[in-house]
């Protein structure tokens, strides 16, 4: 291990061991429904990861939104649920989290040939690109996701899943895995499930996965990750092999912790 890596690990261990703010925990209990599904030891692990993520990433308000501790810890909590039980470098391709109050317009440029450049503005709720080292979220959507225990959508988890996808050096719907065998199994299951989804949509067959999941393998992984945490029992029933692959990668089995009638006891 390099000297830099040694000191980074020590700094992170100190951050995880710090007493957790009572106010921060109150925001998490109010805003992060998934927190209440976690066993007590996982809650403790999650709070430690949150302290590291908030310390290491730059959170910036956009469109007139002031950044508050509520925003920081709510977003960080959703992100860190993806890190439980695993060695992690805390989203190494991410430097900044940009937060808009709501839907925002993103500028797109497209080369048309012959020296012509087309510029458009596209309304978006969130996005992240490996080369930009930034992740963008609409706060009202993140906040709204916490209010619906059955929707299956979670914008923050979706965008941070893309960050996990980047960790193998490409954006292909495959995160950094631990062995050749796991890569083989992942490619087989995810490839088959992605093709199956596209066929079902082409034939108008009902599916629990959104049409957006069929955009490309990267979006398929992000949507599957949302469902894994938000609607785990349904995903396990409808896509058992996909669910097992996600359990193996995340080292979690959220279907066993899922209590829909007590999903968010502290919300008004």
4-54 confidence digits (pLDDT tens): 688 899 999 999 999 999 999 999 999 999 999 999 999 999 999 999 999
Q: How confident is the model at residue 110 (pLDDT cuts 50, 70, 90)?
A: low
Cα 181 to chain center, whole Å?
A: 25
- Lowest-pLDDT range of 90-94, 106-110, 206-210, 242-246: 106-110
pLDDT of residue 266: 35
CB 177 within 8 A of CB 186: yes
Stretch 200-225: mean pLDDT = 95
User: Residue 68 pLDDT > 70, yes or no?
Assistant: yes
- Work out the average pLDDT over 161-179: 95
Q: Which neighbouring-strand residues pair with 118?
A: 110
Percent of the chain with pLDDT over 90: 80
Domain count, the chain: 1
Query: Please, which pLDDT band fits residue 108 given cuts at 50, 70 and 90?
Result: low
Distance CA 110, CA 221 (A): 26
Residue 267 lies in a domain: no
CATH number at residue 204: 3.40.390.10
Average pLDDT rounded to a whole number, residues 71-84: 98
Residue 187: is its pLDDT beyond 50?
A: yes
pLDDT of residue 182: 96
Q: 247 is in which domain, residue-wise?
A: 3-262
Q: What is the DSSP string of 121-186?
A: EEEESEEEEGGGTEEEEEHHHHHHHTT-TTS---HHHHHHHHHHHHTTTS-SS----S-HHHHHHH
In a domain, 268, yes or no: no
In a domain, 47, yes or no: yes
pLDDT at 148: 63
Nearest to 253 by CA among 226, 234, 233: 233
Confidence band for 267, pLDDT divided at 50, 70 and 90:
very low
Of 35 and 150, the structure prediction assigns the larger pLDDT to 35
Residue 39 half-sphere exposure, CB side, CA atoms within 13 Å? 10
Q: Is residue 155 part of a domain?
A: yes
pLDDT band at 119 (very low <50, low <70, confident <90, very high): low
% pLDDT > 70, the chain:
88
Q: For residue 197, what are the contacts with CB-CB under 8 A and spacing of at least 6?
A: 207, 209, 213, 214, 220
């Amino acid at each position: 291990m390099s000297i830099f890596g040694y000191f980074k690990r020590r700094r992170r261990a100190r951050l995880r061991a710090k007493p957790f703010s009572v106010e921060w925990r109150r925001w998490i209990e109010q805003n992060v429904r998934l927190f209440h599904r976690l066993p007590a030891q996982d809650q403790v692990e999650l709070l430690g990861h949150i302290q590291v993520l908030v310390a290491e990433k730059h959170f910036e308000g956009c469109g007139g939104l002031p950044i508050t501790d509520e925003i920081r810890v709510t977003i960080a909590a959703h992100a860190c649920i993806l890190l439980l039980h695993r060695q992690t470098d805390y989203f190494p391709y991410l430097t900044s989290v940009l937060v808009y109050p709501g839907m925002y317009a993103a500028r797109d440029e497209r080369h048309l040939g012959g020296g012509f450049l087309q510029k458009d503005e596209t309304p978006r709720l969130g996005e992240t690109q490996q080369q930009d080292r930034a992740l963008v979220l609409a706060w009202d959507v993140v906040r709204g996701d916490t209010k619906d225990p059955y929707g299956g959508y979670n914008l923050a988890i979706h965008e941070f899943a893309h960050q996990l996808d980047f960790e193998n050096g490409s954006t292909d719907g495959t995160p950094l895995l631990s062995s050749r065998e796991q890569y083989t199994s992942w490619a087989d299951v995810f490839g088959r499930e992605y093709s199956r989804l596209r066929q079902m949509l082409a034939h108008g067959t009902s599916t629990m996965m959104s049409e957006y999941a069929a955009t490309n393998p990267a979006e398929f992984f992000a949507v599957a990750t949302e469902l894994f945490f938000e609607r785990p029992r349904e995903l396990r029933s409808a896509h058992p092999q996909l669910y097992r692959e996600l359990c193996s990668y995340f080292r979690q089995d959220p279907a066993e912790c899922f209590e829909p009638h007590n999903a968010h006891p502290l919300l008004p």
